């Protein structure tokens, strides 16, 4: 009797064993995904390209203020006696450079970067917060007697003036980023639009400042009339902080200082209402037409 163990039929490579006939073996190609539908999971991050924002911009803005402080206040350190009378012109120049940073440096940085994938107004609002607090830290120390020795109303007027221009610049920047984003959503590159918007900001700041200087006339005290300078960002700082020795004070806030700053703030509020309205309309159009390009 043969004691060798019985073995089943030999398996042929690529064939299914007889005992597993009820279990179909899929072809190797069937393991490859051919379903074009997206796999369920977390939605893509629309802010992936700007996830760190506004922290990098806040760092750049702080560096801008630091370099401006060194450039404006550095030359007066050679003075034998650093009195408030020596310090005030340099401090006024520092505040003017800060105002130019709000109206020129900030928009030029953002227009040279990729536009936000979500709402431009949200990105601009975060930038405004990043600009606002270092701005206040530059203005309010000037009331210290060892520095400019200005009264608190002077610092408050300068702060109100700069905040109004911050709001106005933010509204125009929101419109600019929204326009560029719409062009790019249709597959168009927008270097021309970015350049034109940069020219708009330069005209809003430098052009307005130059126009005020050309239209101003000397007065009895050797200064320019308040109304011709306060509606521009940089000359408005000089007007608020200029010496008024005939009043017995280094500087004094005048009623027109508040009126012109309030006027700029009201214009900014109107522009913000417009850009937010058009931004809402654009979102509703994208929701109604999902097939349209989405940014």
For the whole model, what pTM was predicted? 0.75
* pLDDT in the model for residue 234: 80
pLDDT tens profile 93-139: 999 999 999 999 999 999 998 888 778 899 999 999 999 999 999 99
At residue 99, φ and ψ (nearest 5 deg) are: -65, -40
∠ Cα 128 131 132 (to 5°): 80
Pairwise CA distance, residues 254 & 74, whole Å: 31
* pLDDT in the model for residue 22: 56
DSSP string covering 183-239, please? HHHTT---HHHHHHHHHHHHIIIIIHHHHHHHH----TTSS--GGGTTTSHHHHHHH
Tokens 């279990």 belong to 23
Cα R_g (the chain), whole angstroms: 32
Percent with pLDDT over 90 in the chain: 34
pLDDT tens profile 201-212: 998 888 767 776
CB 177 within 8 A of CB 112: no
Task: Return per-residue pLDDT of the chain as tens, 295 residues.
Answer: 455 555 555 555 555 555 555 556 555 554 444 545 555 555 655 545 555 677 888 999 999 999 999 999 888 877 777 787 888 889 999 999 999 999 999 999 999 988 887 788 999 999 999 999 999 999 999 988 888 888 899 999 999 999 999 999 999 999 999 888 888 877 777 788 899 999 999 988 887 677 766 666 555 444 444 455 666 788 888 888 887 766 666 778 888 888 888 999 999 999 999 999 988 887 777 677 665 554 4
């Amino acid at each position: 009797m043969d004691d060798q163990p019985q073995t089943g039929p030999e398996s042929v490579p690529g064939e299914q064993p007889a005992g597993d006939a009820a279990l179909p073996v899929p072809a190797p190609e069937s393991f490859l995904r051919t379903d074009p539908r997206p796999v369920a999971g977390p939605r893509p991050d629309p802010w992936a390209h700007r996830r760190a924002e506004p922290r990098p911009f806040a760092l750049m803005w702080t560096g801008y203020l630091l370099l401006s402080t060194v450039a404006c206040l550095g030359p007066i350190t050679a003075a034998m006696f650093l009195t408030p009378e020596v310090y005030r012109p340099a401090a006024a120049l520092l505040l003017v450079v800060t105002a130019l940073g709000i109206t020129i440096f900030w928009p030029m940085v953002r227009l040279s970067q990729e536009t936000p994938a979500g709402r431009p107004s949200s990105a601009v609002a975060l930038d405004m917060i990043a600009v606002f607090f270092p701005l206040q830290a530059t203005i309010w120390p000037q009331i210290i007697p060892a520095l400019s020795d200005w009264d608190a109303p002077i610092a408050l007027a300068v702060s109100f003036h700069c905040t109004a221009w911050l709001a106005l610049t933010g509204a125009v920047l929101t419109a600019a980023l929204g326009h560029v984003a719409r062009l790019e959503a249709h597959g168009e590159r927008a270097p021309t639009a970015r350049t034109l918007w940069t020219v708009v900001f330069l005209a809003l700041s430098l052009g307005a400042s130059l126009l005020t200087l050309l239209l101003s006339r000397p007065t009895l005290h050797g200064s320019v009339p308040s109304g011709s300078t306060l509606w521009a960002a940089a000359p408005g700082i000089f007007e608020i902080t200029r010496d008024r020795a005939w009043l017995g004070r280094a500087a004094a806030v005048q009623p027109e200082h508040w009126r012109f700053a309030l006027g700029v703030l009201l214009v900014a509020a109107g522009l913000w209402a417009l850009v937010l309205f058009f931004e809402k309309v654009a979102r509703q159009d994208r929701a109604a037409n999902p097939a349209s390009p989405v940014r």
